[in-house]
Chain A
Amino acid sequence: MGSRIAAMGQIPQRANVKRYTRQRKSELGMLLLASGITILAFLLASLGINSALPSNLIIVLVAMVALPLVVHIANLFLAPYADPALMPIVALLNGLGYVMIARLDPQEALLQGVWATLGVIAYISTLIIVNRSEILDRYRFLLALSGLLLLVLPLAPGIGQNINGARLWIRLGPVSFQPVEIAKLNLAIFFASYFIEKRDVLGAMGSRLSLRESLNIRILGPIATAWIASLLVMTLERDVGFSLMLFLVFIITIWMATSRIRYLFGGSILFVLGALGASNLFTQVNVRVTIWIDPWKYAQGIGYQIVQAQYALAAGGISGTGLGRGHPTIIPVVTSDFIFAAIGEEMGLLGTSAIVMAFLLIVGIGIRAALRAKSPFGSLIAAIFTMIIGLQSFFIMGGIVRLLPLTGVTLPFVAYGGSSLISNYILISILMRISDEGNRPDELENELKSRRSLLSRRAKTA
Chain B
Amino acid sequence: MERRIRLLGIFLMVLFLGLFVQLNRIQFLDASSLANAPGNSRNITTQFSQNRGAILTADGAVVADTVKSTDVYKYQRQYPNGPLYADISGYDSILYGKDGIEAYYNSYLTPHSVTPNSLSSLLNPTTAPDNVTLTISSKLQSVAASALGKLRGAVIAIDPSTGAILAMYSNPSYNPNLLSSHSGTTETKAWNSYIKDPSQPMLARAYRRRYPPGSTFKIVTSSAVYDHNPSLAVKSYPHVSSIALPDTTNRLHNYAYEVCGGQIGILLAVSCDTGFGQIGLDLGASSLASEAKSFGFNQTPPLDLYGVASATFPSAASFSTRLPTLAYSAIGQYDVAATPLEMALATAGIANHGVIMAPHLMSEITGPQANVVKKYQNHPWLVATSAATAAKVTSLMEGVVRFGTAGGIAIPGVAIAAKTGTAQLNLLASNQSSPNGNDNWMVAFAPANHPTIAVAVVVPAQPGMSSNSTGAQYAGPVVKAMLSAAVNTSSVVGG
B23 touches A394 (CB 8 A): no
B9 touches A401 (CB 8 A): no
Q: Specify which of B5, B19, B39 is in contact with A403 (CB 8 Å cutoff).
A: B19
A359 cross-chain contacts in B, Cβ below 8 A:
16
B106 cross-chain contacts in A, Cβ below 8 A:
none
Check if B22 is an interface residue, CB within 8 A of chain A. Answer: yes
- Per-residue CB proximity of B112-155 to A under 8 Å, as 1/0? 00000000100110100000000000000000000000000000
Check if A315 is an interface residue, CB within 8 A of chain B. Answer: yes
Q: How many A residues, CB 8 Å from partner?
A: 52
- Per-residue CB proximity of A321-350 to B under 8 Å, as 1/0? 000000101100000000000001000110
Quick one: which of A247-306 are within 8 Å of B by CB?
252, 255-257, 259, 296, 299-300
A379 touches B5 (CB 8 A): yes
What number of residue pairs across chains A and B have CB atoms under 8 A from each other?
129
- With both beta carbons as reference points, the residue of chain A lying nearest to B49 in the complex is identified as A327
Check if B196 is an interface residue, CB within 8 A of chain A. Answer: no
Check if A54 is an interface residue, CB within 8 A of chain B. Answer: no
B124 touches A352 (CB 8 A): no
Q: Specify which of A256, A259, A330, A363 is in contact with B12 (CB 8 Å cutoff).
A: A363
* Chain A binding surface, main DSSP class: helix
- With both beta carbons as reference points, the residue of chain A lying nearest to B37 in the complex is identified as A311
Q: Which listed segment binds B: A64-72, A165-173, A385-393?
A: A385-393
Q: How many B residues, CB 8 Å from partner?
A: 37
Check if A317 is an interface residue, CB within 8 A of chain B. Answer: yes
Check if A86 is an interface residue, CB within 8 A of chain B. Answer: no
Q: Specify which of A330, A344, A391, A398 is in contact with B18 (CB 8 Å cutoff).
A: A398
- With both beta carbons as reference points, the residue of chain A lying nearest to B2 in the complex is identified as A371
Q: Which listed segment binds A: B25-33, B56-64, B254-262, B478-486?
A: B25-33
Check if A36 is an interface residue, CB within 8 A of chain B. Answer: no
A394 cross-chain contacts in B, Cβ below 8 A:
12, 15-16, 19
B22 touches A356 (CB 8 A): no
B19 touches A257 (CB 8 A): no
Check if A408 is an interface residue, CB within 8 A of chain B. Answer: no
Check if B35 is an interface residue, CB within 8 A of chain A. Answer: yes
B8 touches A387 (CB 8 A): yes
A316 cross-chain contacts in B, Cβ below 8 A:
27
B49 cross-chain contacts in A, Cβ below 8 A:
327
A353 touches B35 (CB 8 A): no
Q: Which listed segment binds B: A43-51, A175-183, A220-228?
A: A43-51
A383 cross-chain contacts in B, Cβ below 8 A:
1, 4-5, 8
Check if A397 is an interface residue, CB within 8 A of chain B. Answer: yes
Q: Specify which of A259, A296, A330, A364 is in contact with B42 (CB 8 Å cutoff).
A: A330
B35 cross-chain contacts in A, Cβ below 8 A:
311, 314-315
CA distance A2 to B30 in the complex (A): 74
A311 touches B4 (CB 8 A): no
A387 cross-chain contacts in B, Cβ below 8 A:
8, 12
Check if B107 is an interface residue, CB within 8 A of chain A. Answer: no
Q: Specify which of B13, B20, B42 is in contact with A311 (CB 8 Å cutoff).
A: B42
Check if A407 is an interface residue, CB within 8 A of chain B. Answer: no
Check if A91 is an interface residue, CB within 8 A of chain B. Answer: no
A390 cross-chain contacts in B, Cβ below 8 A:
12, 15-16
Given known contacts A257-B1, A398-B15, A349 and B42 CB-to-CB distance under 8 angstroms: no
B48 vs chain A, min Cβ distance (A)? 10
B72 touches A311 (CB 8 A): no
B28 cross-chain contacts in A, Cβ below 8 A:
317-318, 349
- With both beta carbons as reference points, the residue of chain B lying nearest to A47 in the complex is identified as B124
Check if B428 is an interface residue, CB within 8 A of chain A. Answer: no
A327 touches B13 (CB 8 A): no
CA distance A363 to B299 in the complex (A): 74
- With both beta carbons as reference points, the residue of chain B lying nearest to A321 in the complex is identified as B46
A256 touches B22 (CB 8 A): no
Check if B186 is an interface residue, CB within 8 A of chain A. Answer: no
Check if A63 is an interface residue, CB within 8 A of chain B. Answer: no
CA distance A421 to B367 in the complex (A): 47
A307 vs chain B, min Cβ distance (A)? 7
A349 cross-chain contacts in B, Cβ below 8 A:
23-24, 27-28
A315 cross-chain contacts in B, Cβ below 8 A:
31, 35, 42
A360 touches B16 (CB 8 A): yes
Quick one: which of B179-194 are within 8 Å of A by CB?
none
Taking beta carbons and an 8 Å cutoff, which residues of A are in contact with B? 44, 47-48, 51, 252, 255-257, 259, 296, 299-300, 307, 310-318, 327, 329-330, 344, 348-349, 352-353, 356, 359-360, 363-364, 367, 370-371, 376, 379-380, 383, 386-387, 390-391, 394, 397-398, 401-403
Supplied contacts A259-B4, A314-B34, 8 more A-B pairs, CB within 8 Å: A256-B1, A311-B37, A312-B42, A352-B27, A367-B5, A376-B1, A386-B9, A394-B16
Closest 10 CB pairs of A and B: A314-B34, A367-B9, A349-B27, A390-B12, A401-B22, A47-B124, A314-B31, A394-B15, A313-B26, A370-B5
What are 29 inter-chain pairs, A to B, with CB distance below 8 A?
A51-B126, A256-B4, A256-B8, A259-B4, A307-B39, A311-B37, A311-B42, A314-B26, A315-B42, A318-B27, A327-B45, A327-B46, A327-B49, A327-B72, A349-B24, A352-B23, A356-B19, A364-B9, A367-B5, A367-B12, A370-B5, A379-B1, A383-B1, A383-B5, A383-B8, A386-B9, A386-B12, A398-B18, A401-B19
